[in-house]
Each structure stands twice: as C-alpha cells, then as structure tokens.
Structure 1
Amino acid sequence: MTRLKKTTSLGDALRELVRNLGMEGKLEEQQAVDRWPRVVGERVAAHARAVFFDGGKLFVECDSATWSQELHYMKPDILKQLDQSLGRPLVRDIIFTNTRR
C-alpha cells in the first residue's frame, strides 16, 4: 500500500519558502510600503507615496512642502494606523521628502 503525501496550500508553501530563504523581514518591510495608500487614504496617497523602507524608517515622497509638513503633524496617528495594519510596530519613523512628479 502506498502512502499519500500531505497536501499543502499554495499560501502555506509560499510562507514556508519565504521563511526558509530568510526573507520574512523583507516581506514585512514591503508590506509597510504597499499598505501606505490604504492606511492614509486616497486623498493623501495622491500627494504622498511610500517609496521604500530601511532600518525601521518608511520613506515617503510628497509632491509639495505643504503636504510634507501636514503629514509630519499627522505622523503619530499614521504610525499607529500602520502598526494596526501590519499587526505589530514595524515602522519606527516616517521620513517625508519633497519631490516634484
């Protein structure tokens, strides 16, 4: 009699692969960037774009100094919302820079 192999869902297989490759942290960091529009909403996301995550800092490009300043004042609330969205306090700081699109 032959044994049946245990089946694994694709999601479980991918999670195991990411863990085996030691990329869990990088995946979480990318989630912080990807969730930015959902956390801040469409209106803010139209003027400020998360571009990368490094060393606990999320770097966000704003299309004007006005938006950069406004978001700086909103930073504590945004950090709390990111923590809730990610399920843990991954983002320690947000760095806002100005850029023209």
Structure 2
Amino acid sequence: MTDNNADETNSQDSGSQQAFPPPHLAHLAGMDLVRRTLEEARGAARSQGKDTGRGGRSPGMRRTVAGRRRSWSGPGPDRRDPQTLASATRDLAQNLGWGKRVAEGAVFGQWTTVVGEQIAEHAVPTGLRDGVLSVTAESTAWATQLRMVQAQLLAKIAAAVGDGVVTSMKITGPTAPSWRKGRLHIAGRGPRDTYG
C-alpha cells in the first residue's frame, strides 16, 4: 500500500514540475549547465517578444525613455560626469558674467604662486584698476628690480589668470614718512632727503 501512495505522489509531482536538468542537458554540469539553461530561457523570451536584458540587445541599440532616445556616455569625459569644484565655479562665474572679476581676484589670491615666493616676500599687490596692477615693494631696491623684470611678471600673470586682466604694472617703493605735524603746515618740499 505504501508503494501505491508513493506512485501517486510521484505522478502528481511529475505533472506539476519538470525534471531538472532537462534530458537534453543531462550531460552538462556546473556553470556550463547554468549558461545553457540561461541561453534557452532568453531564446524563449525573445521568441515571445519579451525584453531579455543586456544579453538580448545588440550593442548599437539604445533604450527609449518616455519616447526620447537615451544616449549612453562612453569611456571619455562627459558633461554628466562628476566635476571638480574649480570647474563648476568657473562655469558658474562665466554664466553669470563674473569671469573678469574672478580673474582679477585670482591675481591677488595666486600672487605667491604666480610670481614666486622670493618676489612675494618683498612685494605685494595693492590694487587693480582698469588693467593696471599696483604693486608695493618693501624697498626702493626691490621696486627697481621689479621694474626691470616687469615684462616677465606680466607674462606670468597672463599665463595664470588670462590675457587682458593685467595690462601694465605700477611698481612703487615704500612710502616716505610724513613730516607734517598738526593742522597747519607750510607748502614746500620739506626736508631735502630721498625716500623711495
């Protein structure tokens, strides 16, 4: 009696389930069996007109999203790639028309990098107006030296922040002390001495 129950159970199972692996794939095992089974399932889905995922699509096909053709980015740089903060702020400044002001500010912010540490220790930019950069040197000797290399400094500044931001330089030495005392004074040159 137990044999009859077992036969009934087997007949019910065989009716509701298919044998795995199918008889024509019984000679395969492991990953070969998995690959072959997946290929057959994709083939069956394709024959019914269903999407089979990446494996069923040719490389040139592109998905459409809401009626639009969707483009995929390639291995090269793309506008959708993450951007650096520097490039994002540069683009923002250009879009808002701030490019010239940002370039002018870069002259002051990058002074040490542009002219070098030695010059930056002895001279500082004090103003930029209409393309004329005012630079104050710590001594008359440094002011003279900077005037002699002014063309090279202008070339370095143009390379760093762009052409036309700084067109010329006004280099001055240290300011002389004032000899004026009090509210009243007499017009004239004051003491005959050289400063700056």
TM bin (shorter chain)? 0.7 to 0.9
**Alignment-derived partner of residue 96 in structure 1:** 171
State the distance in 2 between where 1:16 and 1:82 align: 21
Q: Structure 1 residues 12-21 or 90-99, which shifts more? A: 12-21
**Alignment-derived partner of residue 49 in structure 1:** 124
User: Normalization by structure 1: what TM-score?
Assistant: 0.75
Give 1 or 2: higher helix fraction: 1
Structure 1 residue 21: Cα displacement:
4.3
Structure 1 residue 59: Cα displacement:
1.1
Give 1 or 2: higher strand fraction: 1
Structure 1 residue 14: Cα displacement:
3.5
Which is higher, the Rg of structure 1 or of structure 2?
A: 2
State the distance in 2 between where 1:85 and 1:91 align: 11
State the structure with bigger RCO (CA 8 A, min sep 6), 1 or 2: 1
Distance 1:14 1:35, change over 3 A: closer
State the distance in 1 between where 2:105 and 2:162 align: 14
- Report the secondary structure of 1:88's partner residue: coil
- Report the secondary structure of 1:96's partner residue: strand
Q: How many residues align?
A: 97
State the distance in 2 between where 1:85 and 1:98 align: 25
- Report the secondary structure of 2:149's partner residue: helix
Structure 1 residue 53: Cα displacement:
1.4
Please list every run of at least 4 consecutive aligned residues from structure 1 whose deviation after the TM superposition is greater than 4 angstroms: 6-10
